[in-house]
Amino acid sequence: MYKKILIAGCVLMSMGMLYGVNPTTGKSYASEQTTFTKPTTTKTKTVPMVSLSKYIKGVKSETKANAALEKLIIDHYDIPDEYLDLTTYYYNYVDLNADGKKEIFVIVSGPYTSGTGGDCALWISQSGKKLAIKQEFTLMNAPIIISNHKTNGVHDLVVPYYGKENQKQYKVLTSGKKGYTRVSDSKTIKSLTGTKGKAIIANDILKEVKNGKSGISLHSSKETPNTKEVDMVALPAGIKGMKASTTANASLEKLIAKEYDIPDDSLNQTTYYYNYVDLNDDGKDEIFVMINGPYTSGTGGNSALLVSESNGELHIIQRFTLINGPVIISDHKTNDVHDLIVPNYGGGAKSQYKVLTSTGASYTTVNDAKSIDTLDGVKGKAIIANDIVKEIENGQSGLTLQKR
């Protein structure tokens, strides 16, 4: 299993202003609070992301609890059990140093992590199951913009900053020998004009709170959040795996339901798994989504879509059938586009793999693709690398379509 990096961020100006902080120790006092309310767990209508410029793509935070990260946050900030359900966190997977190893940026908001100027942040590395803090931040607010610009090989971070009279500005955190610069020492810019990149934790948190949502709550180590996480499928040494995103995508759901003409009474029987990819290396992410359900699946596999996004709208690039996970994005390219390798079985077919190559206009179909018996010599990245059979046995089954 390859190493992961996690960045835990306690970021939220809007939430941070709810909490008082001891200026000497940095710790927050419950006695300084006026009112604490437990985050609600009621499922309500999806709230759109915050508004972003056309040059900045947004992604909402993950929705799946991370037990190991929760334990680290609790231990580091010494949060008592009685304040755990008052503390919430938001996180996303990222790759800040572009080394191909996943990182996580997590937002934590609560009486022991937040102040009037923003929230704390932790940069955390993971080796196996062990987590270790690499860097700590303060005065952070969301969304966190991962700029396309790099300093010393690491993407700059651009974060909202509220100065005198609560005037909104932005701070540009750059990487140096000792890590990122502090917010207070970073360059200030008045607008995002000219900034290009991706915004993580792009939830409209104030509206979500009003709508009955407030991130993921911390749990006592005695509790088990959700269900036990299932490991990824086993992959050869030359292929790195990535599970499907756990963040529901309302626009993608609408597209799927319309494309396959799925009636309302079959939506809850249809699940989808997706990841952001860049198959032609043009610097723009596409979405590859595999759909499982009565209107999209057969004995030989599932339907899938390759989708692009332009000006906030999704467009289908190509439709696939007979797709099974994981989907391997090979390092090898045909006509400057990465080959796709998918398992092929069921429907009486011999268990093997199909290599889908680009014609320059589209990929070959599974039926027309070259067959290989093993993954020997293949190098690349596997998306939708969930062990779906075990996840279903464990009470998990991807994201379910919702009526929109």
In the prediction, which pLDDT does 221 show? 58
Which pLDDT does position 164 carry in this prediction? Answer: 60
pLDDT at residue number 110: 86
Task: Spell out the residues 6+ positions from residue 303 whose beta carbon is closer than 8 angstroms to its own.
Answer: 260, 290, 291, 296, 297, 319, 320, 321, 323
For every one of its 404 residues, what pLDDT tens digit does the chain have, with 9 covering 90 and above? 333 344 444 443 334 433 333 333 333 333 333 233 444 443 445 678 888 999 999 999 988 888 888 988 998 888 998 889 888 898 888 888 887 777 888 888 889 998 888 888 788 776 656 777 788 888 888 999 999 999 999 999 999 998 666 678 999 999 998 899 999 999 999 999 999 999 999 988 888 887 777 788 888 755 444 445 678 888 999 999 999 998 889 899 999 999 999 998 888 889 999 999 999 999 989 999 999 999 999 888 999 999 998 887 999 999 999 999 999 999 999 999 999 999 998 656 668 999 999 999 999 999 999 999 999 999 999 999 999 888 877 767 789 998 76
pTM across the whole model: 0.50
**Does residue 218 contact residue 72 with C-beta atoms inside 8 Å?**
no
pLDDT at res. 17: 36
Alpha carbon distance 267, 312 (integer Å): 24
- Burial category of 17 from C-beta neighbours within 10 Å (exposed 0-12, middle 13-18, buried 19 and up): middle
Residue 97 identity (one-letter amino acid): N
Residue appearing with tokens 């990841």: 275
Contact 58, 202 (CB under 8 A): yes
Radius of gyration of the chain measured on its C-alpha atoms: 22
125/256 Cα distance (integer angstroms): 36
Cα atoms in the Cβ-side hemisphere of radius 13 Å centred on 78: 5
Residue tagged 């810019």 (tokens): 189
pLDDT of res. 347: 58
pLDDT at 169: 92
User: Do 356 and 369 touch, CB atoms closer than 8 A?
Assistant: yes
